[in-house]
Each structure stands twice: as C-alpha cells, then as structure tokens.
Structure 1
Amino acid sequence: MTESPTPDWVRSLRGKILIALAGDPTGMAPYVRAIAEGVDTGYFAENGPAWTVHAGTGTLVAGIRALLLQALHPGALAGVHDWSRYREDPIGRLTGTVRWVVTLTYGSRTQADAETRRVGRFHQRVQGEYRAGDGTDRRYTAEAADLVRWVHLAFTDAFLAGHEASRKPIPGGADAYVADWATAGRLMRVVDPPLTRAALRAEIDAFADRGELRGGERVDDVVRFLRRPPFAGAMGVAYRVLFAAAVATIPRRYRKMLGVRRWPLPVLTLARLVLRVTERALGSGPRAQDMARARLRRLEREAA
C-alpha cells in the first residue's frame, strides 16, 4: 500500500512552525544538519527524559511559560530588556533559544560544548543595573550565579509542566527529567541544580519567599507582548490558545505577580487539540532527533 501524499496545508503549517522555531522552513538549519556529523553520543541518552520532553509539542506551551516565569526576576528581565531584540526580532530571539536547547539535547558533546561557549561569549557582554525586589539598585551580569540559576529553574519547570499538560509520559517520570536536564544546568555553571521535581519547585518558591520576584511595568510589558506576538491567521489563533494553556499551568501565586488569569474554558483540552495538529505537521519531515539517530547509528556501525 502506498502512503497518501502529505496535504498542502500540513506542509504549509510545518514550514511556518519551523521558521518560527528553527529559522528554516525545512527544519534543517545548518546547526540541525550538523547534529548528524558528530563523533560522540552526546550528553543525553536516546529516547531518555530530555529527548522525550524536548521532542514533544508541549515545548510550544513550555517556551511561553518559561519566558513568563523568567520575567518575574527583575535581574533576568533587565538583561532581556537591555540586551535582547525580542521586540524587533521575536523570531530571531526564539530561534536562538531553540538552537541552544536542540543542540544540547540532540547534538554530540563537541557540538554542545561549542554551542555553550557561543552563548557564554554573548553573556559576557550582558551587564547593567536593575531595581531588586527589595527596592535596592543592583548590578547584574548574565553570568551571575543567582540569575543563571533562576533561568535554569524556570526553564526546567516550564518544560516539565508543558510536557505534562500534553499528557504524554516521560521515561522514569518527572524526577528523571529534572535530573537529566540538570546536566544542561551544570554546563551553564549552575552549582548543584535540583534533581527532583519537589526540589525544583521548592527552589522556585524560595526565590519568591525571599522577595526576589515581583511584577511591575516591565513585566506587564512582556506579558502584553507575549499575549499577542506578530503571528497572523490560524497561527495567531493557535498561539492564543497555547498562551492561555501556559498561563493555566502557572501556580496562582505567580499568575498574580504576572497579572494574568486562567480562561474560564477547558483551555488545556483545546491546547492538546492544537498540539495534535502541530504534531501531525511536524511529523511530516525530518527533525533534530532524526539527525541524532543517524549519528548514533553511524557510530554503532563504526564501532562494530
């Protein structure tokens, strides 16, 4: 039996999604193709927790949630406000983050280390001043231990929550993902990152308990932008559902700081419908994990 051709609307949707995520309508940006060329197995096991979570379409919810939560730390937000071009080039900002995640998750150790150094070189320039939660003015750098830690915590919690919202299993469960992705934290010089979901959530709450997180005009500005980015047509409608889903996964304490509310609709159910359509579109061609599997099979043949 021959396979039915992929509908034009699916190919079109896939191209639009991949431009937003990878900056390339085929999904095969140069860094993605390079994943197949490495000479070692990488930092993360094939089909392990990080592979599974980061391959899922729940990452679309997670990315929005991570940006919202990260914005609650005024130091992290100052770095984005002062140094990021997210307003002028939101797609570029997104694809830069996606490149780091994809490369660390699926690339060889050599490629992942090079990507970490690339991000580190940019971070060396990021510095300035911000008004802390206690009202004092403080200096910041992107390499400051507390800011790097907060970004790791917010990212890990967001991607875990986004995947759980999709109702897909994680090999070994939530704790296994937190422990697996702690490797990325260490690569970014996070000291002793949390290894369980309970420890992760406790550290996030500790930031709030110490008064290090707060809302404000800059946070409101980020929320307004993330609520309605420049996506038109069906993508714009789908994005609004995913934004609402991201909000729904955030604990009430942090929703109040962000000034956002849950929809009075079964938004997670709606989001899962959007994610299923997205998954069908993305499944119509090769992705980063396919490049990683090609590398792993080649290494197996060479070792035989």
Structure 2
Amino acid sequence: MDSDDLGLFGPGSVTWKVHEEPILIVAGLRSLYLQALHPRAMAGVAQNSNYRADAWGRLARTATYVETTVYGTTAEAETAGARLRRLHDRLRATDPLTGEEFRIDEPDLLRWVHVTEVESFLSTARRAGLPLTDEEVDGYYTEQRRSAALVGLDPATVPGTAAEVAEYYSAVRPELRMTREAAETAIFLTAPPFPWKLSLPARLGLNLGPPRWAYLGIAGTAFGLLPGWARRMYGGLGLPTTALSADLSVRALRLAFAAVPRRYLEGPLILAAKERAARHAATTLAG
C-alpha cells in the first residue's frame, strides 16, 4: 500500500541523508553550470525550452521532480519518470557543430545530465560539511542508479562509485566546449530575471536589493564549487584558492540554513515521506 511505501530509497539510505540538506539548492545551480559545457546537451535545452522566459518555473518543476523521485512513493516516482520519458520521447534538436538532428533522450545525453546532477548533489553536500564516509559516497552513486533508470537509462551503464564518476568525467571532457550558448547560459544563471516582487527594490532605484545580492552570493559559490577544469573552460584560473573560498562560503551557507526552522524548508513530499517512515518504524517495533 502507498501508505506504507518508503519509495525508491527510504530513511536508511544515503540518498535521504544527502537530500535532507537544504544546501542542495547550490548543488542544483552548480550542475547547470556544468551541464552547459556539453554543446549537444545545451542545444537540446535551448531548442526545446523557454528557460529564459520561465527560469523560476523550470527550476521549481525540476526541484519537484527530484523531490518526488527521492521522497515520493514508488508509484509516484515511477509516474514522474514515465511522464518525463514521454516528454523526452517527442523532442528533437539540431547539433550545433554537425547540423545533425538528434533525440533528446539519447543515452549519452541522459547520462551526462544524470552524472552532473548527482555528483553536484554529493560533492556540494560533502564540501558544505555533511560527514560522509567513502563507502557512503559510493553507496549514494549506486543508489542513484535507480533514479537513472527512471529517465530511461540502463543502470549498468551509469557510474555507480566515485571512481567510476571520475573515469566518466575524464572520458567525456574531450566532448565539452566553451560555446557561445554556454557563455550566455552562465551569464543568465548568474543574473537571471527575478520575480517582480523580489525585483521591486531595483525597479524603484533602490540598488539591487537584498534578494539579488543573496542570489549572486549563491551563484558565485556554485560556480566556485565547479571542478577546476570546468572553471578553466569558462575562462577562470581553476586555482586551489578559488575552491577553498567556495568551500568556506558553502559551509557558511549550510550553517545559515541550519538556523532556519525545518518546517520552513521541508515541503509536503518530504513531510509525507517522513510520516510514512515513522509509521513503518512503529509497525516494525510493534511486530
């Protein structure tokens, strides 16, 4: 029954441990900077979405999808995955380098998006101070093969350990480019249009306003958390000092989030999952 279903992962998983961290908002932004360096993946997004006109709506839908796969029941996660596969199935794009038409759901593209996303989640949480053993790190990647299956990937073709993720990045780096689209996307991610209520101070001539400054800090931290080779592709120096500065910033942000009451950070999906987990634990103890 759904009332007793703990979903694809459950309270004992590394996935729940990682995704309980509000700091993953920074990780999501980091993954987008990274994904933009793949010309074919970037073309697929640019030619099939209105992300510039609806940046916040797209971000909200992506966050809801991830929450559903992590905290939803098995049926809810599978339904979300099926919906995404149907959407991808009908989308096509043109390769900016060769002019070839390609499917959005090509395994290579799905794998790139999956790996950059889960690696961003994990590395950001760990660098922010979440204690994880090397075994837990590998466990997270292995668990996330279930998420990869939802989008249509064969789990056996998806990196399942930290070493395999490192090997994957080494293999895919020759395909990455600093294109005009990547540069424009990076600029957009760093300074996107704000919802009108948050933009009001700037509209009234009151500088950029606190929300804009706060977002710029988050975006700068997300960019600084990129691998050195990725920062160099964007024209940065990839210096260790940049990584150190990003580490200090992301740790400070995690501490700031920790001061916010959990009820303000956890949505209905997370709360429902924790209620199911509590009922399951009580039933297990009673039995």
Q: Flag whether TM exceeds 0.5 (same fold).
A: yes
Which has the larger displacement, 279-288 or 100-109? 279-288
SS in 2 for 1:41: coil
- Aligned Cα root-mean-square deviation (Å): 2.4
2:231 to 238, 244, 255: 255
How many residues are aligned here?
264
1:62 to 27, 32, 35: 27
**Unpaired stretches in structure 1, ≥5 consecutive residues:** 1-35
1:277 to 256, 267, 272: 256
1:119 counterpart = 2:98: no
1:194 counterpart = 2:156: no
- Cα deviation for residue 109 of structure 1 reads 0.5
Alpha-carbon contact 2:81-2:150 (below 8 Å) kept: yes
1:268 to 247, 250, 253: 247
SS in 2 for 1:140: strand
1:235 counterpart = 2:189: no
Partner of 1:146: 108
2:138 to 171, 175, 178: 175
TM-score, length basis structure 2? 0.83
- Cα deviation for residue 238 of structure 1 reads 2.3
Residues 1:178 and 1:281: Cα distance change in structure 2 (over 3 Å):
same
2:273 to 287, 292, 295: 292
Alpha-carbon contact 1:127-1:140 (below 8 Å) kept: yes
- Cα deviation for residue 57 of structure 1 reads 2.2
- Cα deviation for residue 299 of structure 1 reads 4.5
Residues 1:260 and 1:55: Cα distance change in structure 2 (over 3 Å):
farther
Counterparts of 1:9-158 in structure 2, within 5 Å, are 38-131=3-96, 135-158=97-120
- Cα deviation for residue 237 of structure 1 reads 2.0
Which has the larger displacement, 43-52 or 250-259? 250-259
Alpha-carbon contact 1:179-1:196 (below 8 Å) kept: yes
Residues 1:141 and 1:38: Cα distance change in structure 2 (over 3 Å):
farther
Alpha-carbon contact 2:93-2:104 (below 8 Å) kept: no
Residues 1:282 and 1:122: Cα distance change in structure 2 (over 3 Å):
farther
Partner of 1:11: none
Partner of 1:215: 178
Task: Give the Cα separation in 2 of the matches to 1:282 and 1:91.
Answer: 24
Q: Deviations over 1:172-219 (max 9, x none)?
A: 4311211111211122222221111111121022011xx321111100
TM-score, length basis structure 1? 0.79
How many percent of aligned residue pairs carry the same amino acid? 29
Which has the larger displacement, 199-208 or 252-261? 252-261
1:226 to 189, 200, 203: 189
Which has the larger displacement, 278-287 or 173-182? 278-287
Which has the larger displacement, 136-145 or 153-162? 136-145
